[in-house]
Amino acid sequence: MSFKNVSGGIWEIPKEKEMLVPARVYGTEKIVNAIEAGALQQIKNVAYLPGIQKYSIALPDCHYGYGFPIGGVAGIDYETGVVSPGGIGFDINCGVRLVKTNLTEKDIKPKLKELLDSLFGAVPAGVGGKSKLRLNKDELSEALETGSKYVIEKGFGWEKDLAHTEENGGMQGADASKVSDKAMKRGMPQFGTLGSGNHFLEIQRVSNIYNAEVAKKFGLEEGQITLMIHCGSRGFGHQVASDYLDGMVKAVGKYKINVPDRQLACVPIASNEGQDYLAAMKCAVNYAFCNRQVIMHWVREVFESVLGQDAESLGLDLLYDICHNVAKEEMHEIDGKARKLLVHRKGATRAMPAGRKENSADFASTGHPALIPGTMGTSSYVLVGTETGLAETFGSVAHGAGRVMSRHEAMRRKKGEEVKRDLEAKGELIKGASLNGLAEEMPEAYKDVDEVIESVEAAGLGRKISKHVPLAVMKG
């Protein structure tokens, strides 16, 4: 497939056949050359979607997915375009939450194993993990339509957490009546659970500060202990996606929409089917915000219990919580004019620079933190967006390292015991719900996250603020 280097870390695949826009890939030459053929074809396929603006976008962590590649972004005109569940994904609002502390490694080292063991006992994890909470259908409906505010009012967190959560912890327009009974039944027992796969809860140390001025405003400094929570909407979000994909596959013919891949099934945004899907998607987004909020509350309780101080004294403040798999109504400049778009981000992190209305007051002068997690044994990063990123990718950066190896292949190459042993030999504590899960998520199954971050910077999409290395990891 022919690429044209536009500049630095920006590469373009020209329009061909019925592509409505070119495709753009962001990354170093090493990253771009490593993208598998199937993902590149998906990037081109997305360019066929009615209403797509500027480019079909692939970020440095891009790899093969369902319909859209994971690491794919598309800004679609809200009035004339379509919504495609394949551009949001099955784990709706899979996302990351970063919690600060006023602790150092010296403060927690004697208690690190006890902290990890206690977290494992306090936070339900694993395939089909069952929550300690028992919500009935009416309670779940209220949580779906309200978001994090619902659980905070029940005592799971602090009011100020909302201002440091994307969408203030709740997308407006969520309608639980648009969610199937099957999704509700799957969601009730998993509310407040970490899940499995690449989801994790991690105790980290800030190893590097790259921008002292912004880091100070964020309350980050070298040597500081931070906590990262990575999870999503569990079986609830998966069921919402499955339900609506089934309907859209049938509706494509009704609206005479031609797409090169049935996994890109879509309907006009303004259609009844489109609006119903978005109302249900927002419920899944809010479910995930609640999920991470409840887990953070239990993390605070564990630190209080093990360290013998209250969470406020320990400085367990939320820096930010950010979505990865979502569609958002946003205003962007297209051909010199402000236009309302539905921006699909699948395995992509919003990174709005200073001056955008999406930023809460605390981040007005810096842009909000964009959190990019690594995987076991690798670093995570905090970035901020740039004006270049706003123009190029609708204010989007990578969401992680991105897989280079299937879970089956990872398990074939290494046993979970070996993965655990290798990481602990490096001084990192690991506790997983299953050994197979550890094998599936071994560091070698992912791209080099440092190269992904270098790609984001090379393309001018974001700026590094801090780097966080894992000390202890709980895996689902």
Catalytic residues: 399
Task: Give the residue from 88, 96, 119, 132 showing the smallest Cα distance to 289.
Answer: 96
Round to whole Å and give the CA distance between 464 and 371: 10
Residue with tokens 């919504």: 83
- If DSSP states are collapsed to H, E and C, what string results for the chain? CCCEEEECCEEEECCCCCCCCCEEEECCHHHHHCCCHHHHHHHHHHCCCCCEEEEEEEEEEEECCCCCCEEEEEEEECCCCEECHHHCCCCCCCEEEEEEEEEEHHHHHHHHHHHHHHHHHHCCCCCCCCCCCCCCHHHHHHHHHHCHHHHHHCCCCCHHHHHHEHHHHCCCCCCHHHCCHHHHHHHHHHCCCCCCCCCEEEEEEEEEECCHHHHHHHCCCCCEEEEEEEECCHHHHHHHHHHHHHHHHHHHHHCCCCCCCHHHCCEECCCHHHHHHHHHHHHHHHHHHHHHHHHHHHHHHHHHHHHCCCCCCCCCCEEEEEECCEEEEEEEEECCEEEEEEEEEECEEECCCCCCCCCCHHHCCCCCCEEECCCCCCCEEEEEECHHHHHHHCCEEECCCCECCCHHHHHHHCCHHHHHHHHHHCCCEEEECCHHHHHHCCHHHECCHHHHHHHHHHCCCEEEEEEEEEEEEEEC
The tokens for 30 are 């090493």
The tokens for 172 are 């407006």
Contact present, 80 and 341 (Cβ < 8 Å): no
